[in-house]
Amino acid sequence: MKGRRKQHTFKNSGAIFILPAFLVVALVMFFPLLYNIALSFFEKTIYNADWKFVGIEQYIDLLTSGKFLNALKNTVVWTFFSVVFQFVIGFLVALVLAQERVKLRGIWRCLIMLPWVLPSIIGSMVWRWMYHSDFGILNDILMKLGIINEAIPWLGSKEFALISAIIVNVWKMFPLVLLYIEAALQSVPKSLQDAAVVDGANAFHCFRVVTWPHIAPTCKTVVLLLSIWTLNAFTFIYVLTGGGPGTSSQVLSLFIYREAFQNFNYGSAAAASTILFIIVAVFSSIYIKLSTGGEDQ
């Protein structure tokens, strides 16, 4: 009887309906993840057919490698400045477009969203031509305005390569921030804002006391999502600079790509991708915790 009850409970729970999806996810995501983690403990290249167990030796080599540490430093710079400017610009533009006195807000929203809907590879190629030291429109405008005297090799200079990629990433992603923040602003009760104005609150105090508490959870979620996406970003760096000149703009995702598909050092690439996975997992855990907390509240 107990066995029949358990079987009956299992059928009624609906678990059987999600089983096919679970198996697909396990096959597509969990197996490659576990395979990658296992591979990181072995020395495996295209030149040797056998797997040689080396333990954590590859992790130690990476954490003491100048190229990996440089890629890690570039990833921190790339992520921090991209997320900061994406959020600040998107937040400010959302505040402006939320004002009823702004004319043609629908048209402005559509125009601003164009970078987000444009495929990343196409946007990268357009910016690559704009950055061209000889034919690019950016240098042409700056020289006509008298800001610079000679053309700047934006993508061929160690000083400007990573900055140029950050600018493109900000241009691409800030419309998404605008979308999130504008949606959150629409949830702020108008009655509370009117009551604050009647009580004598100016625009700043009204924003701090009424608006910010309502949109703060969304802002935290957006920042964490941007951080996760930027840590994994590959397209802009690859198309614009290729990680160069040298390794001046190489981030972790591109370092992993080069180790695996150019140097054919699969064990080292697996170890580097595991480290990146741990970093992203930390941000993802924070995001899930905040999202769950927001739903509970």
Residue with tokens 């009647």: 198
Asked if 136 and 212 count as a contact pair (C-beta separation under 8 A), the reply is: no
At position 220, the amino acid (one-letter code) is K
Spatial neighbors of 75 by CB under 8 A, at least 6 apart, are 231, 251, 252, 253
Q: What are the pLDDT digits (tens) for 15-64?
A: 777 888 888 888 888 888 889 999 999 988 888 777 888 889 999 999 99
What pLDDT score does 14 carry?
A: 67
**CATH superfamily assigned to domain 47-296:** MetI-like (1.10.3720.10)
What pLDDT score does 1 carry?
A: 46
**Rounded CA separation 264/70 (Å):** 20
What pLDDT score does 296 carry?
A: 47
Q: List the chain domain ranges.
A: 47-296
Closest CA to 297 of 220, 196, 227, 223: 220
Spatial neighbors of 123 by CB under 8 A, at least 6 apart, are 115, 168, 171, 172
- Write the burial class of residue 6 (CB in 10 Å: 0-12 exposed, 13-18 middle, 19+ buried): exposed
**Rounded CA separation 272/268 (Å):** 6
Q: What are the pLDDT digits (tens) for 82-94?
A: 999 999 999 999 9
**244 three-class SS:** coil
Residues with pLDDT less than 50, the chain: 1-3, 294-297
